[in-house]
Amino acid sequence: MKAVEILVEEVRCHELVVPVSRLPAAAAPGAEPPGSVRRYADGAAVLHVGPGRWLLAGHAIERESSAVVAAQVSGGSLLDVSGKWLRLCVTGAQAQGHLSHFLNVTQVLHGRDCAPVTILDCPTLLARRERGFELWTGRSWATWLHESLTRSR
Amino acid sequence: MTARFRNPTGGSVDRSRTCRFTFDRQSLRGFAGDTLASALLANGVHLIGRSTKCRRPRGIFTAGPEEPNALGTLDPGDRQIPNVPLTVAPLADGLVFASQNRWPSLRFDLSSIAGVAGARFGAGFYYKTFMWPAWRWYEPLIRGLAGLGCAPKIGVDRPPRERHLDCDVLVVGGGAAGLSAARAAASRGAKVVLCEQDSSLGGELQFETATIDGRASSRWLIDSERELRVAGVELLTGTAVVGCYDDLLLALCQPAGYPGEADELLHIRAAARVLATGATERAIAFAGNDRPGVMLLGAVERFAARFAVRAGNEAVLFANHDRVYCAAQRLREAGIRIAAIVDPRARPELAVLEELERGGVRICNEQVVEQVLGGHRVSGVIVRHRDGVGTPTRISCDVLGASGGWTPALQLATQSGLAQRYDAQLGAFIPVSESATVIPAGAARGKLELAAALADGTAAGAVAATAAGRDAAPAERPALVSADPAPAVMPFWRVVGGDEKRQFVDLQNDVTVSDLRQAVAEGFREIEHVKRYTALGVGTDQGKTSGLPGAAILAEFLGKPLAEVGVSRPRPPTRPIPLGVLAGFRGAPGTVRPVRHTPLQADHVADGALMEPAGLWLRPRYYRDHGESLAAAAEFEAQRVRAAGGLFDASTLGKIEVAGPDAAAFLDRIYLARPSGIGIGRARYCVMLREDGMVLDDGLVLRLAAQHFLLTTSTHAAAAVLSHLEYHAACSAAELAVSCTDVTDAWAVIVVAGPRTRQLLRKVLPPAQWREPLEQLRHMDFHCGKWQSRPLRLLRASFSGELAYELHCAADAAPPLWRALRRHGAPDGVIPYGLEALDILRVEKGYLTSAEINGQVSPYDLRLDDMVKRSAPCIGSGLLARPALHEPSRPILVGLVAADATARLDAGAQLIAAARSTQSLGHVTSAVWSPALGRAVGLALLAREFAAHDREVVAADPLRARYTKARVTAAVHFDPTGERMRL
């Protein structure tokens, strides 16, 4: 197993946003608090990135369709943002050690599985995954971020 | 062959590994485990450098990082490392290093002539001299003499690393107290990190002859280190904590002991911190105390114990505490003859004194060292009664070990917010902690006895672990310790009488007792002012050995207690840290800040674009095939757009989707021009104000559905606009149900502009879907559809004044769309154009960018009065009514045309009424050479009272000595009726 591997993937994404004033108790995908991540076997994932804001990756939009509809009825908006996000998968035995060069992973993900962070001045979503981490970043940032993370291994 | 000052046995150097090194071209030898300083002393080399101001000869003074004198340059040459403390840099085979601050050589230094003159100048002389006839007469000489070392010409190949750590308990210091604290915390299950600045653990234990729980201190040290590693404590040697910032500590890991590629900056967050930072031995000021061979007593001991090096063969010891007698015993056992012990106190009741006297050591109580004799090396001292009675005595020696006591290292405690109080018995300030998460321990808290330090460390570790949420545990029994007795320090700072100009307080900056007296005579009273005026403690040693003695002498001259005068406040870093380490990864080329790419980056490069940074984005400035120079290419591209057509990548525009049941009402609060009045499928130019009424940004608002809008922002303001929207959605409009989502990266924007635009789009966009929209779209209409099954929004809008469309397509679909447009457009002469040509086109049309919307203009200044009239109240509109925004001196947007067809206008030039006027009436915001008009044109913000059309003004650029006459015109220079974009 490599010490650190960083792969870039393009993933179909939707963003679900519910105004905080309209956040119902159970209409949104799951009752998990912000910072939670729900993953499916086919790679789909729902990242609860902040109060009233979810990132639905892959086929999560289909899997969470009833929750999404309920959220929209409550005043939420669903946007197809495919192309906005690229996912950098950081895996390997030294994945956390490598990321620790740039931020305090333990502190940031204390009690949660995803969090918005800034890595090398790039706005990013950090998420824990099996055997590593995901860095979701905007397409325009991804090339430089990937090169910089790779160069610093 | 053993160097002549190396003992045949003892120390912790590896005698099986000889290291050859070169100092000032002299070949010498040492052993692995030596520092450069110990190796030099072993070879009898004491003259190491020259002082900063007076160029006086200097030798090794300490044995640690607080060294003020022994700084050298490693590997002299393009990659040299200056200012390396020789007392911490480890010796390696083949090392080459050189002394600093001398010319041409250390022994024969011509620059010391300047130093002789410098010695005549007291404190702050540079504020009073070198002014007549002009500073520039002195500057080259002073620049050549000033400073320490020279920077390398070539940096390291690999930038230093950073690492983020977190733990329950951070222990700073690996001496007795620190090791005890780490063990106590780890035994309670805490995750512990211990940082020790030295290359090995132990602190003073490394050369103390003590027993702890029946074991020699050296054995206890080895056992403790093993136990800590087994307990999972992360032990970081060669790692100094350099700063405390709220809940973050910064530590510098320098395995080599000096800057190198292995350096690492650690960001440490700890629930609790134990500051076992120890105490630094301090100096006494007496005449000639700067001579090579005068060292701190502890340094003489450390060189003997750790490196088996005798700093000299015959020593005089001068100290104000009991430890000097124990030290004398140890030094005698190390082979150094003790000629005399000079102690300003009365004779203490210690059994060891009789033993010393029986061994031939002369004990001089109630006496002081008045003066040191010698040139490049100590040759003897003059000793007299402290009150001046009797006859002074000359005692020969080749090393003088002096100690004024110990100063607890307070830097990190102070940075952590702890207060200090003066301990008169110790003669030092100690930290006062009421915090359970910041706990000073051991010598750092004034516990100088080993038993007290061990117990203090244990207690501190337990408190820290509890503060970190770990379980309490039964108190540990105190260790059984046999060690040096309590030092019984009598505060003693200087020898009264004698030549105060030769009594050095700060060795590195040549600050003497005379300088401090002069500062007081000139009216300085506060320690912070005296520090800066005299340069006391501002060198690389940061006053670790000189700060408290200097403050005490100042207190004496002021007639105030030392507790009232205090010491200067230590700020991070606590030791010098290379800028490259702070830069970290950012030190590598191309990494200072991120670079953002549009989806068309590769296509622009393939098309020969000159890519340049525009903020964080890389954008095409012009295309190299279009001209031999920037100006030629930009003119060509602009002309081609107006004649045929052009393609422009506008993907960097900010794009924000606003949706929700109250989206329209929300946007009415945000913008002038009432977005709720926009029809579905239509766009409107809107302006957003700050809360104070100034324009924040402008852009288009597209209505996608009844309660779904797309906002475009200028590239530079995208983040600020999103922040503005989110703030108001959460605060001033919290009752409205609305969401704002940044989609800048989701959509690429390709602008197609020019008279042949429509026919190009007919070729590229599938007719079944797009023929009708293309024919029917009016200016500011848009249509949503697909291109190659990917979503596409076609907006008819223009920033060039030509018929133009913006194609908003999914980011991943942009490259094939761009290539299709290029392929089909080429036969009609449609070319890509860059930022320079865009600027020409938009200035000709009077369109605004951040050059005009500069954060200081109101909508009235931009001639948007009609928009304000039509608007409902919105954020910022209330303050538009204030009288100051309507004064005649307020700037207003105008156009400028150069009077002379060959003259140029410069953006940034000030506008004045006539060539010799010095009153600015405004400034040129944007200026271009206009191919359409055949002369320079621009936009400007000009005081209203001078803004009448056809008025003549002068655009003044004094820096370039350019004064250009220009005529005030309307902002729109080309096609004022807008016919071309309504084709």
Domain assignment present for residue A131? The answer is yes
Q: Does A23 touch chain B (CB under 8 A)?
A: no
Say yes or no: A101 and A142 in one domain: yes
Q: What is the CATH number of the domain that holds B769?
A: 3.30.1360.120
Residue in the structure block whose two tokens are 């020019």: B754
CA distance A98 to A150: 10
Q: Is some CB atom of chain B closer than 8 A to the CB atom of A107?
A: yes
Q: What is B46-99 written as a DSSP string?
A: ---EE-TTT--EE----SSTT-SS-EEEES-STT-EEEEETTTSBP-TTEEEEE
Tokens of B544: 């670790």
Task: Judge residue B527's burial from the number of C-beta atoms within 10 Å of its C-beta, 0-12 exposed, 13-18 middle, 19 or more buried.
Answer: buried
Is B765 a member of any domain? yes
Q: Establish if B158 touches chain A: CB-CB under 8 angstroms.
A: no
Round the CA-based radius of gyration of chain A to a whole number and report it.
Answer: 16
In a domain? residue B846: no
Note whether B614 contacts A: Cβ–Cβ < 8 A: no
Claim to verify: residue A75 and residue A124 sit in the same structural domain: no
Task: Search chain A and give the residue with CA nearest B168.
Answer: A107
Per the CB < 8 Å rule, is A77 touching B164? Answer: no
Q: Domain of residue A134: give its range.
A: 84-151
Same domain? For A76 and A88 the reply is no
Residue B4 lies in a domain: yes
Instruction: Choose among B207, B191, B181: nearest CA to B300.
Output: B207
Pairing of the two strands B481-482 and B211-212: antiparallel
Is residue B865 in some structural domain?
no
Below-50 pLDDT ranges, chain B: none
Q: Are residues B171 and B149 in the same domain?
A: no
Distance from CA of A1 to the nearest CA of B (A): 23
d(CA B110, CA B87): 27
Are the beta carbons of A79 and B659 separated by less than 8 Å? yes
Query: According to the model, what pLDDT value does residue B368 have?
Result: 97
- Same domain for A69 and A123, yes or no, is no
Apex B705 CA angle, B704 and B707, nearest 5: 115
Strand duo B910-912 + B952-957: pairing: antiparallel
Same-domain status, B325 and B448: no
Looking at the complex, does the CB of residue B810 fall below 8 Å from at least one CB of chain A? Answer: yes
- Tell me: do A120 and A142 sit in the same domain: yes
CATH number where B951 lies: 2.40.30.110
- A4 occurs within a structural domain: no
Q: Dihedral through CA A68, CA A71, CA A77, CA A78, nearest 10?
A: -10
Verify whether the Cβ–Cβ distance A19 to B738 is below 8 Å: yes
d(CA B841, CA B751): 13
The domain boundary residue, chosen from B435, B452, B482: B482
Same domain, A70 and A126: no
What CATH number is given to the structural domain containing A50? 3.30.70
Burial label for B611, CB within 10 Å (0-12, 13-18, 19+), is: middle
B residues 903-962 lying closer than 8 A (beta carbon) to A: none
d(CA B164, CA B291): 44
Of A21, A82, A148, the CB nearest to B735: A21
A135 touches chain B (CB under 8 A): no
Q: Helix, strand or coil for residue B42? A: helix
CB-closest option in B166, B588, B659 to A104: B166
What's the domain count of chain B?
7
Whole-structure pTM value:
0.84
Amino acid at B401: G
For position B118, what pLDDT does the model report?
60
Q: Give the model's pLDDT for residue B578.
A: 87
* B928 & B964 share domain: yes
Final residue before a domain boundary, out of B833, B850, B868? B833
The set of residues, in sequence order, having a beta carbon less than 8 Å from that of B920 and lying 6+ positions away, is B910, B911, B912
Residue B226 counted as domain residue: yes
Q: Are residues A109 and A140 in the same domain?
A: yes
- Nearest-neighbour CA in chain B from A116: distance (Å): 15
Residues B140 and B93 in one domain: yes
Q: Does residue B313 contact residue B336 with C-beta atoms inside 8 Å?
A: yes
From the list A79, A138, A140, which residue is nearest B741 (CB)? A79
A28 and A49 inside one domain: yes
Tell me, yes or no, whether A20 lies in a domain: yes
Flag if B745 and A10 touch (Cβ within 8 Å).
no
Residue type, A83: G
Query: Does the beta-carbon distance from A83 to B591 stay under 8 Å?
Result: no
Q: Is A118 on the interface with B (CB under 8 A)?
A: no
What span, in angstroms and rounded, lies between the C-alpha atoms of B420 and B798?
67
Residue A111 near chain B (CB below 8 Å) = no
Q: Is residue A92 part of a domain?
A: yes
A77 in contact with chain B, both atoms CB, cutoff 8 A: yes
- Identify whether A5 is part of a domain: no
Nearest to A153 by CA among B597, B239, B585: B585
Q: Is residue A132 part of a domain?
A: yes
Instruction: Tell whether A33 is covered by a domain.
Output: yes
What's the number of domains chain A is made of?
A: 2
CB-neighbour burial class of residue B250 (10 A; exposed 0-12, middle 13-18, buried 19+): buried
3-state secondary structure of B525: coil
Check if the beta carbon of residue B498 is closer than 8 Å to that of residue B370: yes
Chain A interface includes B735 (CB < 8 A) = yes
Q: Are residues B457 and B346 in the same domain?
A: no
Alpha-carbon distance of B192 to B234, in angstroms, equals 6
Confidence (pLDDT) at B641: 97
* B150 and B166, same domain (yes or no): no
A116 to chain B, any CB pair closer than 8 A? The answer is no
For residue B581, the surrounding DSSP H or E stretch is helix B579-583
* Cβ <8 Å between A83 and B746: yes
Q: Do B594 and A120 touch (CB under 8 A)?
A: yes
CATH number at residue B303: 3.50.50.60
Cα→Cα distances A109→A92, B193, B383, Å: 18, 20, 66
Residue B706 lies in a domain: yes
Amino acid residing at B631: A
- Across the interface, whether the CB atoms of A76 and B739 are under 8 A apart is answered yes
DSSP conformation class of B700: E
Strands B922-930 and B248-253: unpaired
Write the residue in B591, B599, B661 that is nearest to A75 by C-beta. B661
Which pair of structure tokens corresponds to residue B341? Answer: 């012990």
Q: Which residue among A61, A80, A99 closes a domain?
A: A80
Residues B149 and B2 in one domain: yes
CB contact under 8 A, B585 and A152: yes
* B581 contacts B252 by C-beta, under 8 angstroms: yes
Read off the pLDDT of residues B467-505 as tens digits, 9 standing for 90 and up: 999 987 777 777 888 888 788 899 999 999 889 999 999
pLDDT reading at A26 higher than 50: no
**ipTM computed for the complex:** 0.95
Chain A: give the shortest CA distance to residue B416, in Å.
Answer: 21
Q: Are B515 and B664 found together in one domain?
A: no
B490, part of any domain: no
Quick one: three-class SS letters along B190-212? CCEEEEECCCCCCHHHHCCCCEE
Q: CB neighbours (10 Å) of residue B230?
A: 9
Within B330-486, strands assigned E span 337-343, 362-365, 367-374, 378-385, 393-396, 399-403, 406-408, 419-423, 428-432, 438-440, 481-482
CB-based contact (8 Å) between A76 and chain B? Answer: yes
For residue A123, the chain B residues in CB contact (below 8 A) are none
Whether A101 sits inside 8 A of B597 (CB atoms) is no
- Residues A95, A66, single domain; the answer is no
How many contacts does A have with B, using Cβ atoms within 8 A? 112
3-state secondary structure of B296: strand
Spell out the residues 6+ positions from residue B884 whose beta carbon is closer than 8 angstroms to its own.
Answer: B890
The token duo for B625 is 């095939």
Residues A94 and A132 in one domain: yes
Contact B298, B305 (CB under 8 A): no
Same domain for B202 and B230, yes or no, is: yes
Domain interval for residue B352: 283-399
Dihedral pair phi/psi, residue B492, rounded to 5°: -150, 120
pLDDT tier for residue A30 given thresholds of 50, 70 and 90: low
Query: Does residue A2 sit within a domain?
Result: no
Could you tell me whether strands A13-17 and B683-689 are parallel, antiparallel, or unpaired per DSSP bridges?
unpaired
Instruction: Please give the single-letter amino acid code of residue B227.
Output: E
My answer on whether omega of the bond before B104 falls inside 30° of 0, hence cis, is yes
Tokens found for residue B228: 């800590």
Residues B610 and B516 in one domain: no
Query: Burial letters for B432-469: b for 16+ Cβ neighbours within 10 Å, e otherwise?
Result: ebeeebbbbbbbbbbbbbbbbbbbbbbbbbbbbbbbbe
Q: Looking at residue B116, what is its pLDDT?
A: 65
B718 vs B800: CA distance, rounded Å: 21
Instruction: Mark whether B292 and B258 lie in a shared domain.
Output: no
The last residue of one of the domains, among A42, A62, A80, is: A80
User: B607 by DSSP, 3-state: which?
Assistant: coil
Assess if residue B854 is contained within a domain: no
- For B158, name the nearest residue in chain A, comparing CA atoms only: A152
**Contact in structure between B973 and B905 (CB atoms under 8 Å):** no
Name chain A contacts of B743, Cβ cutoff 8 Å: 79, 81, 84
CB B336 within 8 A of CB B329: no
Write down which residue in A80, A104, A129 finishes a domain. Answer: A80
Query: What gap in Å lies between CA B205 and CA B776, rounded to an integer?
Result: 89
Asked if residue A134 and residue A98 are part of one domain, the reply reads yes
To test the contact with chain A by mutation, choose from B161, B269, B739 the residue with the greatest count of A C-beta atoms within 10 A, namely B739
Distance from A54 to chain B by nearest Cα, in Å? 11
Mean of the per-residue pLDDT values of chain B = 93
Q: Within this chain, do residues A19 and A69 fall inside the same structural domain, yes or no?
A: yes
Tell me how far apart the 2 most distant CA atoms of chain A are, in Å. Answer: 47
Residue B295 sits in the same domain as residue B371? yes
Q: Could you say which of B122, B154, B186 is where a domain stops?
A: B154
- Contact flag B596-A102 (C-beta cutoff 8 Å): no
